[in-house]
Structure 1
Amino acid sequence: MRATHVLHLGVKELWSLGRDPIMLLLIIFVFSVSVYTGATVLPESLHTAPIAIVDEDRSPLSRRIIAAFVPPYFQAPKLIAQSRMDGRMDAGLDTFALVIPSGLQRDVLAGRSPAVQLNVDATRVSQALTGSGYVQAITVAEVQTFVQHDQPSPLPPVELVVRMRFNPALTKTWFGAVNKVIDNVTLLSIVLTGAALIRERERGTIEHLLVMPVTPFEIMASKVWSMGLVVLGAGMLSLVFVVQVALAVPLAGSLSLFAAGTALYLFAATSLGIFLGTFARSMAQFGLLLMMVLLPLQMLSGGVTPRESMPELVRTVMLAAPNTHFVMLAQGILFRGAGFAVVWPQFLALALIAMVFFGVAHARFRSAITAMA
């Protein structure tokens, strides 16, 4: 292999990418607008949920309960009649419908345990799951305060002091922004390298390369380093200007260490893009292959769902996927401020996987090039 060949071919790839306005627009969009919107529209566990209340008691206690449901968790409660409750739930107007029965205050003061009915629209899963607990906690707290005549409740025998590390305010934007950058690094690294190979085939320039004194290894290596450089640069700019500046997300760790881990990961991801590109004859076929590969990689890597909640078989198989280790590395560095002494196992795993991926992709690429010749 000649380094000059790899360098010049890589520069050719960069010039080719620079003359493709659609790809340039995709890169800018994915690492700017996509990251920003993906982080800001991430729904909170409970935010301005619509709630209706049927007040059949009309007592000071029921009015106290109604007044307790306030933003930002709930919208201002809609006071409705019992006959309208089912119709509003069927129409999707209310996520929660609380029925305060007649005689609630009397039964509470008499020491009885009256039942308060809560109807939940379970099609809104994220709000229904956590919102039911919020409604129960608010109702019970107001009843207890009313019974004790606004006197503070006795101290519990044990006090639990909660310390939120790495995200004290539990701001989902922090998690969403970094996770979008991680996902988009995977997406663009595969798309750009695969598209570069397909572009050569569609434009007929692959035949020109075959008659030049270059080897398949040099051709593949040039596409890997050039497209990897583009994704690395765009990803780091996105972290600085979109995540840190626009979204004001504090990054705890070293950006240079993260860049080194990203470069190692891109070695594997771009090789995967070349591998998929050898099977596709057009961008449409490549897009179908990409969906079959990208979605499982992102969903099962641990970036969306913790790996501990997955079946043992899935966790074991996904250890062979490079983005599993990249997610652990990125979250460890950017969220928890981990140094190399902590994330070196992920660096080692990425290096081994990258060499295997590159070797397999090179063998497939060389076979495809030979068949074309």
Structure 2
Amino acid sequence: MKVISIVGARPQLVKLAPIAAAFARTEHEHQIVHTGQHYDADLSDVFFSGLGIPDPDVHLGVGSGSHGVQTGAVLSALDPVLEQARPDWVLVYGDTNSTVAGALSAVKMHLKVAHLEAGLRSFNRRMPEEHNRVLTDHCADLLLAPTEEAVRHLASEGLAHRTRLVGDVMVDICLRIRDQVRSGAFPAPELPEGIDPAEPFLLATLHRPDNTDDPERLAAIIGSLARLPVPVALAAHPRLVARAEEHGIKLAQGNIRVGRPLPYASLVAAVLASIGVVTDSGGLQKEAFLLERVCTTVRPETEWVETVRTGWNILVPDPHTLTPTEWTETVTRPAPVGDPGTPYGDGQAARNVVRLMEELVEEGREGSRSA
């Protein structure tokens, strides 16, 4: 069986790590195509080296641009790659422009498409990621759902027959790295200057357009973080840095200490060292849940509803509308009591993915032989 994985952004690289490891334990041919959607070394190269992912077989180097330009560039560059390789499966990850472009390029060549992390829905049509998810799910042949909630979403859209529940590959990698961090296999987290990991601090990230592109909103969110009575380690995404500079907003103010995006192992170590997380990242919400740290999400909705239902995550769309006391009590609240269960699976999702693709390829071959 030949499978091509198409990735291009940090969250996809993290998901790729357990998939690549699962394929390495088989005789199957697994090729990696990196679109270059995230061209910053902190958001790409460091994940290959830090997570033990094989170097990409193909690097398209599409770089930045508007959604249309970026999606079109990936489509144009992928066509000859897929035409030459003719894999049994094209595996796309998550909800980026690389995801939908990879799926569209493959289906137009009549290649089978599997979508990892299928069925997530925010129901917020302002989010580019929401369009990418829905379009990819509706053109893919195999929908690899991480949760029961995702399975229900797909069934409601008439896609139950293509859907399989496999669990979340983020569990596979997050728990492995967590155990290595706790064993001392990795150095101390790379925190911004002024953050003492032995003292209470919050870890924060912001990158979504709804939070960064409006100058008044971004200034209000940064102001809310700056006024917190505990230090805030802000791992600043390039988009946040660029928009803050464009809007004339100083990030390093009050109790905010600004650092660079963290390699995955350092991110896990930083979450474990923190007393809580403030973010608009879908991945970090779930990582905080898996690492048992309370999360406050600066969004009106989340795809990971299980984190909210269990009390580990609270949605605060507009922190500046809370009183300083309410805001502080929210982000520094104690961890919930009780067993949250395992809504994201048991850490075997990558093996489930490989097994399912194997089975479907074999079924297809048997069907061809009997026809």
TM-score by length of 2: 0.25
Greater per-residue helix proportion: 1
Greater per-residue strand proportion: 2
Larger radius of gyration: 1
**Larger relative contact order (C-alpha < 8 A, sep ≥ 6)?**
1
